[in-house]
Amino acid sequence: MDAAVVALALLLGAVLAARMNQPQPAGSRPGAEPRRGDPARLDYRDLLDPNDAGAGRGGGDPDEVILRVGAERAGALRALTFDEWDGRRWRRSSPLAEDRSSRGFVPVPNEGFPFRGELSEQTIRIEASYAAVAVGTPRVLSYWAPGGAAVAADGTVRFLPALGEGAVYSAQTSWAPATADQLRAAGVVLPRGPVGPAGPVGGEGGTGDGPSAAARELARRLTAGAGSDYDRVRALADHLAARVAVDDDLGALAPGADPVDEVLFGTGRATPARLATTLAVLVRAVGLPSRVATGFLPGERPFFGGDFVVRARHAHAWVEVPFAGIGWQPFDPSGRIAAAEGHDSLWSRLRRAWARYWPALVLVVVVLGVLGARRLVLRRRRLAARPWAARFFVRLVRLGAARGRPRPRPRHPPSTPPPSPGGCWPTSDWWRWGGS
């Protein structure tokens, strides 16, 4: 077999083997029993603490696979929300109670907002060693969990008992992206029902310590010309996006340092969690409710399709603001959610495949080029070894064919080959010369 064919076959075999060796899509393994989680092992919830200095690193391997998500489209995966800010740390006002458990089908409260949009199904397979809470797109209608689950008022679902590696659950979601005009017309509304106020801080209708006077003045100045609640939030988010660089590897804050002032007037760098904290506090400083949500970016879909692969480095934090009749809307000053949701195109997959496999592709091109050059050299050597009359005859036939006068092929080949290369026929396969 030609060496080029062998090289291509080996390359395709390696790609197919890697594809076949991937874990099967979530829920596709018949008879697979989910393993229960061990509380002594790492919970991916550890990656989602908005007060963590690492903000998504968790001290582990950033390339560790956490989840595999079967979904039609890319979307951020929300796990927890935090709505109580004391000036230093975030806390949840909606505890994960253990007495309200259900088995199998788990409806999720809508937090007082109607669900609209196209229904979609997500299937999530846990690859981490331990998982205590569910993740899903922000508008989850219900979960199906293999065991019991407790549902908090903000829609957070806690597995009872916790799930381990290999467990599979599903989520029914509603995709209802709102346009900027719809959000401007709706306006921000204070959440109703069991959800905490999640409202302003610093003596303007909420609890907790507010931002410094300098941060409050900056927030008022940035939103002075805004014509709607949406434009006020957007102005604050755009300011942070333009002025603050995102850095996942920042160390812990100095003792007593104000996290918001550190981002606004300090180094100009922030982890995604600190950036989300800053935006949430500034939104509250202008009298609007907000909360911080933590979860994961959509992950990356393999080149040949399949489930989204979510790794530890995809842990993320963003801000959510409630709009009347629409619900909690995400605002991400880091821009990572929008960038990740756009990475599912074929062009993006090609770029990721090139970035990962370019050494192998370059090697294949070099090998094919060497083989092609070698074949060309051998062909010219064989042609040069023929008698001058045979070479002249071949050239004459080719010139005639190029000018529309091809040499007609004989109907039948001769019964016996020519006696020698210098005989009547240049080679034993003489009929090829007619159309060459």
Dump pLDDT digits (tens) for 375-409. 888 877 777 777 777 777 777 888 888 887 777 76
420 has a pLDDT exceeding 80 = no
Are residues 323 and 392 part of one domain?
no
pLDDT bucket at 356, cuts 50 / 70 / 90: low
Are residues 399 and 330 part of one domain?
no
pLDDT at 112: 58
Are residues 434 and 293 part of one domain?
no
pLDDT bucket at 195, cuts 50 / 70 / 90: very low
Could you tell me which residue, 28 or 143, shows the higher pLDDT?
Answer: 143
Domain assignment of residue 24, yes or no = no
3-state secondary structure string, 176-196?
CCCCHHHHHHHCECCCCCCCC
Could you tell me which residue, 347 or 246, shows the higher pLDDT?
Answer: 246
Residues spanned by the domain of 427:
388-410+418-436
Are residues 226 and 112 part of one domain?
yes
317 has a pLDDT exceeding 90 = yes
4 has a pLDDT exceeding 60 = no
Could you tell me which residue, 256 or 57, shows the higher pLDDT?
Answer: 256
Last residue of a domain, one of 329, 344, 359: 344
Determine the distance from the C-alpha atom of residue 99 to the mean position of all C-alpha atoms in its chain, rounded to a whole number: 35
Domain assignment of residue 355, yes or no = no
Average pLDDT, the chain: 75
For the chain, what is the radius of gyration of the CA atoms? Answer: 32
d(CA 343, CA 88): 35
Whether omega before 161 lies within 30 degrees of 0, making that bond cis, reads yes
Entry pTM: 0.69
3-state class (DSSP) for residue 424: coil
Domain assignment of residue 374, yes or no = no
Are residues 270 and 134 part of one domain?
yes
pLDDT at 37: 46
What element of type H or E holds 65?
A: strand 65-70
Domain assignment of residue 349, yes or no = no
Could you tell me which residue, 62 or 17, shows the higher pLDDT?
Answer: 62
In 3D space, the residue among 136, 139, 133, 95 whose CA is nearest the CA of residue 119 turns out to be: 139
**Sign (positive/negative) of CA torsion 252, 256, 257, 261?**
positive
pLDDT at 203: 38
Are residues 201 and 70 part of one domain?
yes
Are residues 392 and 333 part of one domain?
no
Are residues 403 and 325 part of one domain?
no
pLDDT at 14: 54
Are residues 57 and 179 part of one domain?
yes
pLDDT at 426: 47
Domain assignment of residue 365, yes or no = no
In terms of C-beta density within 10 A (0-12 exposed, 13-18 middle, 19 or more buried), how is residue 374 classed? exposed
258 has a pLDDT exceeding 80 = yes
Domain assignment of residue 242, yes or no = yes
219 has a pLDDT exceeding 90 = yes
pLDDT at 316: 92
Residue 311 vs residues 61, 76, 357: alpha-carbon distances, Å: 9, 13, 19
3-state secondary structure string, 369-385?
HHHHHHHHHHHHHHHHC
124 has a pLDDT exceeding 80 = yes
In this prediction, residues 76-89 reach a mean pLDDT of: 89
In this prediction, residues 404-424 reach a mean pLDDT of: 59
Residue 34 vs residues 150, 167, 232, 386: alpha-carbon distances, Å: 18, 4, 46, 73
In 3D space, the residue among 389, 293, 288, 274 whose CA is nearest the CA of residue 337 turns out to be: 293
**Highest mean pLDDT pick, 28-42, 127-141, 212-226:** 212-226
428 has a pLDDT exceeding 70 = no
d(CA 198, CA 434): 86
Are residues 171 and 305 part of one domain?
yes
Are residues 392 and 264 part of one domain?
no
pLDDT at 418: 52
Which two three-digit tokens encode residue 286? Answer: 């202008």
Percent of the chain at pLDDT > 90 equals 23
The neighbour count for residue 349, using CB atoms within 10 Å, is 17
What per-residue string of b and e applies to 272-283 under the rule 16 or more CB within 10 Å gives b?
bbbbbbbbbbbb
pLDDT at 237: 96
Domain assignment of residue 13, yes or no = no
196 has a pLDDT exceeding 90 = no
Percent of the chain at pLDDT > 70 equals 69
Q: Which positions ≥6 away from 81 have C-beta within 8 Å?
A: 92, 94, 154, 155, 156, 291, 292, 293, 294, 320
Last residue of a domain, one of 313, 344, 375: 344
Q: Where are the beta strands (DSSP E) in 237-395?
A: 245-246, 269-270, 291-296, 308-311, 315-323, 327-331
172 has a pLDDT exceeding 80 = yes
The number of folded domains in the chain is 2
d(CA 166, CA 130): 10
pLDDT at 52: 59
Are residues 287 and 403 part of one domain?
no
Which two three-digit tokens encode residue 240? Answer: 């942070």
pLDDT bucket at 94, cuts 50 / 70 / 90: confident
341 has a pLDDT exceeding 80 = no
Which of 125-139, 243-257, 339-353, 355-369 is least confident? 339-353
**Highest mean pLDDT pick, 67-81, 218-232, 338-352:** 218-232
3-state class (DSSP) for residue 252: coil
182 has a pLDDT exceeding 80 = yes
User: Is the CB of residue 139 less than 8 Å from the CB of residue 37?
Assistant: no
In this prediction, residues 355-367 reach a mean pLDDT of: 73
Domain assignment of residue 65, yes or no = yes
* pLDDT digits 0-9 by tens, 5-56: 455 545 544 544 444 344 433 333 333 344 444 444 556 777 888 885 444 4
302 has a pLDDT exceeding 90 = no
The neighbour count for residue 311, using CB atoms within 10 Å, is 18
